[in-house]
Structure 1
Amino acid sequence: MSDAIQYAIDSDQIVTLTLDLPGQRTNTMNETYRLAMDETLARLQADKERVVGVIIRSAKQTFFSGGDLHELINVEPSRAEWFYRMTLGIKAQLRALETYSRPVVALINGAALGGGLELSLACHHRIALDEKQVRLGLPEVTLGLLPGGGGTVRLVRMLGLEKALPLLMDGRTLSARQALNAGLLDQLASDEDDLSNKARTWILANPSPVKPWDQPGFEIPGGGPSHPKVAQMLAIAPAMLRSKTQGCYPAPEKILAAAVEGAQVDFATAEKIEARYFTELTTGQIAKNMMGTWFQLNALKAGSSRPAAPPVYHMRKVGILGAGMMGGGIAYVTALAGVQVVLKDINFAVAQKGKDYSVRLLEEQVAKGRMKPEQRDAILGRIKPTGRDSDLEGCDLIIEAVFENRELKGQVTAAAEQVVVPYAVIASNTSTLPITGLATAVSRQERFIGMHFFSPVDKMRLVEIIKGARTNDMTLARAFDFVQQINKTPIVVNDARGFFTSRVFATFTHEGIAMLGEGVSAVMIETEARKAGMPVGPLAVSDEVSLSLMSHLCRAGAADGAAPGGAGAVRRGGGVTG
């Protein structure tokens, strides 16, 4: 018997199946799992006469992560037939659990996502810990895929089309309580012992459970696709979906098709429909691109762009120079992460306005019931507005967030350097000015780095980290650690004017404006940009940014490039290095 699924039967004749794939942090539906599940089902069938019930649990910190992306990303079109048959094999395993004439209960101790939730849905009863680490959902759409283990089939039959489609097409994950309210869970438990006790109680009280769709006369909740109310919703669903995706993302369209088509046929046929769409998406290039992005993002989070030698360092006190929208936003996310913040501007009154930005955001959280007043007060207590450089004493990180002007940035960073601790990192939140040039304003240039946040800071996940010519590895590592400390995603980019994102953004808008100047219709420019996958067209973006600001940045860039330490001081070009 494989160690991937440990089989134990107790004195009450209840079998416990413990999922514990060797050599992996999480359980996935890889080949090892599939072979182990075949063995397990055969043993369950052999023990059927004496088995009272089955409990499925995990030895990992998570319950089950779903499909093995390393396997999925490598499925080429030439292997489509093999993949389709393999997918049907997984469905057959889950169906065997579902139709096993003994109660099967899933005990969910952590994340149950994708195939993990599909495994749970195949069980007769689902109990989860009422803990923060428990998340449930079918996020396959975010990887360009659809739920391939019967997710579209079972969820529609459990909840009905109207309630199931948003969960399938949005890829949203739910907390344990949200999942209970949505109908994905049957019970919550306070701890591991409570999980086991509730499972055993339910098994003994329900010796021969049968899923609703396996009973005579079953009807889909809310009605099938031909029901007048559902038909009315489905008539406009494709148009609404198209307006969101512009046809660039096939997964939501295939999910809609699989769910609606599957709701009109029997269970077995619905699973074949799902398997065909799943195979089409998995062997397609768009899903491979999206899975590749997922791998790259995880590599970033794991520190692939971070120097390996310096130990991880958590900032304790951060000084922010400039209390405008950017400075106020950085102060908010920093305090939210539990770090002390000194928010400095020309005087206390201006700095207080920067803190008021955090007050507004936190008040909204309290008003919506997402935060308690005492939590709000604790976060605000970490932000100290000031107009004095002396209050920056003891800061181990300074983030300059003033206007895009080299002289002004140089003045405030030089003044701050005089009072901070010698090992402090000094960062500039600039979107365009090369860091090597800005570093000349301070004496310890090896401690100077670029840290480009995006507006609004509380919502935007990305932070560019820019290493200047003299920036050392310790400084880069500490900047990287801080970005992760405040729950943002760091990317390390080259030191060139505009770095990476601003150059990409500028190219997009400049090309749109150039096309307009060449006589191309504005409507066509915007439409084609959205069809290419951009959320907003280049002309609309230019209007939102304002043409006057774009013009100012162009003039300022030209002037700065001619100045000592300007763009000519670093190599041009560049791009993502991490």
Structure 2
Amino acid sequence: MIRGGSRGERLSKILSLMETSMLYQGDAIHVERQQGEIAVLTLDLKAESVNKLSSGVIAELTEAVGEIEKAQGLKGLIVVSAKEAFIVGADITEFHAMFAKDEAFLVEMNQRVHALFNRLEDLPFPTVTALNGLALGGGCELSLTTDFRVMADSAQIGLPETKLGIVPGWGGCVRLPRLIGADNAIEWICGGTQNDAATALKVGAVDAVVPLEALAAAARDLIDKANAGDFDYRARRVEKGSPLKLNPVEQMMAFETAKGYVAGKAGPHYPAPVEAIRVIQKGAGEGRERAQAIEARAFAKLAKTDVCYNLVGLFLNDQAVKKKAKGYAREVDPIEQAAVLGAGIMGGGIAYQSAYKGTPILMKDIREEAIELGLKEARKLLVKQLERGKLSQEKLAEVLGNIRPTLSYGDFGHVDLVVEAVVENPKIKAAVLKEVESTVGERAVLASNTSTISIDRLAADLSRPENFCGMHFFNPVHRMPLVEVIRGSKTSDTAVAATVAYARQMGKTPIVVNDCPGFLVNRILFPYFGGFSGLVEHGADFERVDKLMERFGWPMGPAYLLDVVGIDTAVHASHVMAEGFPDRMAHEGKSAIELMFDSERLGQKNGKGFYTYTEDKKGKPVKQHDDEAHRLVESVVRESRELADDEIVARLMVPLCLETVRCLEDGIVGTPAEADMALIYGIGFPPFRGGALRYIDAMGTAAFVALAERLAGELGALYAPTERLKAMAERGERFYPDDNVPSDDNPSA
């Protein structure tokens, strides 16, 4: 056994032990002739840590296939990777520029790749792909061109293109259904899933699964058996190139039923999954080339949509945010022991997430019953995972063992980082933080899970304010991916880096922001709620507003969201916002939200708010219309108006987008990518719209400013664009100047 190096490097070393001669050498691909008769095509993109199918790599692959075709006496081809992953997909950084070209260009581009892949598929000898790691998108499609696939038991394979608003464009919609059946292919493609080796073998996507160390030998064994006649590789090619074997009734069952189900799951704003089914259906009765032409045209059509543009932008933003967080985390050692103060629902959720991801955590409270509540929350989440088959009984016990409840500070001297998650009261939090600071080591980091209270205010009485920052989790902790790491004026770089590192260890996406009332996400959210309050005062039916914003793409409308957040929490935060930004967030008289609070309608936490709530069979709250809530709201209506749908949307979205702009201008957040990702991860901003700043870009900065100025003329400072934004509009500038907006991008307000 060869030891050392990455899995891909070990595989490459195994193959290199054989007698070789070079057929082709490029910057990303080389082809060696082994023992005179087997060609091994190795993917090893020198400039990157992973293999991606960029336009340059496709050009090299074209040259490499040409050299293989010219070689005499070959009896087989094995395709391998020298990196940890096989191929992670196409190079998505090229997509915006590429997709800005017209549909004819995109169709022709895909047809060129189809022709190349078909040449690979038609080589006059058996071919095998050895999948050592991730094989996604174009990497999966490349593997489908070979006669056989052998997969390491640790590898994964899939076609995630629909998550980018497109369909697989290099044969995935053609070859996969012919290999694994229409039903399985629809599930893989529409879900965009990464599938493990056992699943891939079960459905027939791969022909063998072996330990990584046996991958090279298994690939060679498949070639030898195919040449010996044990496996009929020519019959496999006929099957992949022929129409699907489905009669009309089977086609109806496979496709029409699937379209209805997938459309319901994907929703009206995500056309790619249903379009993928149509592509498979239209190509089902065709041979290889005609089916590929259908796929190429569908790909090109979707690539030109605003949905694809925004989802590609979202992917690029996500990568940028994660790269930045990774850079912070490299500056410090991993957190080996954490602690959480406060063992309620939030504290229990933090303890669960830390323990589940492998970082032991102390969970402290001053009351035994609170400790039990925190443990109950962790147990509940673990049992759900157990029931879904996501973890074993042994893993459950291990996670619970990583949570150590305590009523004292006895073991806090060994803690690397403490998360304070007590009640949202500045005096109580400050007192608890001062108390815990005296029990931990001098290098330990303290982090407050506050949602609104100034970090500088909480740090005022600390002896080591440089070791203190905010770490704002979103509820429910186990589901919400975002963590805001809030830097105070005295917070050190080390404290920020350690907190970012811990958030990443917990499987979260941390975004570093600067201190201000509400920080980033809540500061942006409350102008949206302010717009909602104004709509209600002008007679808008809050249930109509909710339904309209849900159709717009939000997971829930503003009234429903307020009930979920908690009316009391919202009232407290709104007072903080009004104090911090009185010019645009203070208001006269009672708002509908405050009226609910005065009437002890706190939302889901006590079963009544803008809606009333009952539990379904699984214990989940279900909202229902409530006449009393509507009667209460009527008392704050100042003037009843007829408001069109687009006017309602504008009165909610404009203040939210403007506050995002202000946060960027004020340096609360560093980049447009971080601002937009925080909104998508933190409050469910519609992903297909790309974020608040992409939303402005899509509308056009000048058009957005004109809309804001019109609303500000009547509704005041909440809608007033900043001077810098107006200057951007005059110069025709955008927040993402390097992107190429698709020509048909014209989202409604």
TM surpasses 0.5: yes
Aligned to 1:486: 506
Q: Does 1:424 align with 2:444?
A: yes
Greater alpha carbon shift after TM alignment, 490-499 vs 518-527? 518-527
3-state DSSP of counterpart to 2:366: coil
Aligned to 1:54: 77
Equivalents in 2 of 1:213, 1:305: separation in Å? 44
State the shift of 1:548 in Å.
Answer: 4.5
Equivalents in 1 of 2:240, 2:220: separation in Å? 28
For the structure 1 residues 216 and 178, does the alpha-carbon distance in structure 2 shift closer, same or farther, using more than 3 Å as the test? closer
Aligned to 1:149: 170
For the structure 1 residues 235 and 525, does the alpha-carbon distance in structure 2 shift closer, same or farther, using more than 3 Å as the test? farther
- Written as runs of structure 1 = structure 2, the 5 A alignment for 1:159-558 is 159-192=180-213, 194-207=214-227, 209-210=233-234, 212=236, 214=238, 220=244, 223=246, 226-227=248-249, 229-232=250-253, 234-235=255-256, 237-303=258-324, 311-555=331-575
3-state DSSP of counterpart to 2:167: coil
3-state DSSP of counterpart to 1:319: strand
What RMSD in Å do the two structures reach over aligned CA positions?
Answer: 2.7
State the shift of 1:95 in Å.
Answer: 1.1
Equivalents in 2 of 1:346, 1:535: separation in Å? 37
For the structure 1 residues 366 and 246, does the alpha-carbon distance in structure 2 shift closer, same or farther, using more than 3 Å as the test? closer
Equivalents in 2 of 1:260, 1:216: separation in Å? 15
3-state DSSP of counterpart to 1:78: coil
For the structure 1 residues 141 and 156, does the alpha-carbon distance in structure 2 shift closer, same or farther, using more than 3 Å as the test? same
State the shift of 1:427 in Å.
Answer: 0.7
- Of residues 4, 8, 19, the one that matches 2:43 is 19
For the structure 1 residues 494 and 13, does the alpha-carbon distance in structure 2 shift closer, same or farther, using more than 3 Å as the test? same
Equivalents in 2 of 1:171, 1:165: separation in Å? 10
Greater alpha carbon shift after TM alignment, 28-37 vs 64-73? 28-37
Equivalents in 2 of 1:414, 1:23: separation in Å? 49
- What amino acid is the match of 1:144? G
Equivalents in 1 of 2:321, 2:356: separation in Å? 22
For the structure 1 residues 232 and 55, does the alpha-carbon distance in structure 2 shift closer, same or farther, using more than 3 Å as the test? closer
3-state DSSP of counterpart to 2:97: coil
Aligned to 1:92: 115
Q: Does 1:74 align with 2:123?
A: no
Q: Is the CA contact (8 Å cut-off) linking 2:279 and 2:295 kept in structure 1?
A: yes
- What amino acid is the match of 1:317? Q
Aligned to 1:31: 55
State the shift of 1:23 in Å.
Answer: 1.6
State the shift of 1:368 in Å.
Answer: 4.7
Equivalents in 1 of 2:25, 2:106: separation in Å? 23
3-state DSSP of counterpart to 2:130: strand
Q: Is the CA contact (8 Å cut-off) linking 1:62 and 1:111 kept in structure 2?
A: yes
- What amino acid is the match of 1:389? Y
- What amino acid is the match of 1:543? D
Q: Is the CA contact (8 Å cut-off) linking 1:509 and 1:541 kept in structure 2?
A: no
Aligned to 1:577: 670
- What amino acid is the match of 1:40? A
Equivalents in 1 of 2:338, 2:88: separation in Å? 37
Equivalents in 1 of 2:94, 2:435: separation in Å? 54
Greater alpha carbon shift after TM alignment, 103-112 vs 489-498? 489-498
Equivalents in 1 of 2:300, 2:443: separation in Å? 55
Q: Is the CA contact (8 Å cut-off) linking 2:130 and 2:149 kept in structure 1?
A: yes
- What amino acid is the match of 1:82? F
3-state DSSP of counterpart to 1:484: helix
Q: Is the CA contact (8 Å cut-off) linking 2:240 and 2:288 kept in structure 1?
A: no
Q: Is the CA contact (8 Å cut-off) linking 2:31 and 2:39 kept in structure 1?
A: yes
Cα shift readout 1:439-492 (whole Å, capped 9, x = no counterpart): 224222121101011122122211111111221211111111111122211011
Equivalents in 2 of 1:559, 1:86: separation in Å? 56
Equivalents in 2 of 1:200, 1:335: separation in Å? 43
Q: Is the CA contact (8 Å cut-off) linking 2:416 and 2:445 kept in structure 1?
A: yes
Equivalents in 1 of 2:364, 2:555: separation in Å? 35
Equivalents in 1 of 2:317, 2:572: separation in Å? 35
Give the TM-score, by structure 2 length. Answer: 0.70
Cα shift readout 1:264-285 (whole Å, capped 9, x = no counterpart): 3332111111112222233444
Count the aligned residue pairs: 561
State the shift of 1:418 in Å.
Answer: 0.9
For the structure 1 residues 521 and 259, does the alpha-carbon distance in structure 2 shift closer, same or farther, using more than 3 Å as the test? farther
State the shift of 1:241 in Å.
Answer: 4.2
3-state DSSP of counterpart to 2:475: coil
Q: Is the CA contact (8 Å cut-off) linking 2:147 and 2:237 kept in structure 1?
A: no
For the structure 1 residues 509 and 233, does the alpha-carbon distance in structure 2 shift closer, same or farther, using more than 3 Å as the test? farther
Q: Is the CA contact (8 Å cut-off) linking 1:159 and 1:183 kept in structure 2?
A: yes
- What amino acid is the match of 2:114? K
For the structure 1 residues 301 and 342, does the alpha-carbon distance in structure 2 shift closer, same or farther, using more than 3 Å as the test? same
For the structure 1 residues 44 and 559, does the alpha-carbon distance in structure 2 shift closer, same or farther, using more than 3 Å as the test? closer
- What amino acid is the match of 2:83? K
Greater alpha carbon shift after TM alignment, 100-109 vs 348-357? 348-357
For the structure 1 residues 235 and 518, does the alpha-carbon distance in structure 2 shift closer, same or farther, using more than 3 Å as the test? farther
Aligned to 2:150: 127
Q: Is the CA contact (8 Å cut-off) linking 1:246 and 1:531 kept in structure 2?
A: no
Greater alpha carbon shift after TM alignment, 508-517 vs 391-400? 508-517
Q: Percent identity?
A: 32
Q: Is the CA contact (8 Å cut-off) linking 1:428 and 1:449 kept in structure 2?
A: yes
3-state DSSP of counterpart to 1:136: strand
Equivalents in 2 of 1:257, 1:32: separation in Å? 31
State the shift of 1:339 in Å.
Answer: 2.4
Equivalents in 2 of 1:513, 1:220: separation in Å? 56
Equivalents in 1 of 2:328, 2:34: separation in Å? 51
Greater alpha carbon shift after TM alignment, 342-351 vs 505-514? 505-514
Aligned to 1:105: 128
State the shift of 1:305 in Å.
Answer: 8.6
Equivalents in 2 of 1:54, 1:433: separation in Å? 63
3-state DSSP of counterpart to 1:393: helix
For the structure 1 residues 515 and 196, does the alpha-carbon distance in structure 2 shift closer, same or farther, using more than 3 Å as the test? same
Give ranges in structure 2 of 5+ residues lacking alignment: 1-23, 583-661, 672-749
Cα shift readout 1:233-285 (whole Å, capped 9, x = no counterpart): 64455454444444322322432332222223332111111112222233444
Q: Is the CA contact (8 Å cut-off) linking 2:178 and 2:239 kept in structure 1?
A: no
Aligned to 2:66: 42
State the shift of 1:357 in Å.
Answer: 2.4
For the structure 1 residues 211 and 515, does the alpha-carbon distance in structure 2 shift closer, same or farther, using more than 3 Å as the test? farther
Cα shift readout 1:136-185 (whole Å, capped 9, x = no counterpart): 11111222222111101112222333221121111111111122223211
Q: Is the CA contact (8 Å cut-off) linking 2:29 and 2:41 kept in structure 1?
A: yes
Equivalents in 1 of 2:87, 2:176: separation in Å? 18
Aligned to 1:566: none
Equivalents in 2 of 1:506, 1:497: separation in Å? 11
For the structure 1 residues 265 and 460, does the alpha-carbon distance in structure 2 shift closer, same or farther, using more than 3 Å as the test? same
Equivalents in 2 of 1:435, 1:147: separation in Å? 47
- What amino acid is the match of 1:214? V
Equivalents in 1 of 2:519, 2:43: separation in Å? 46
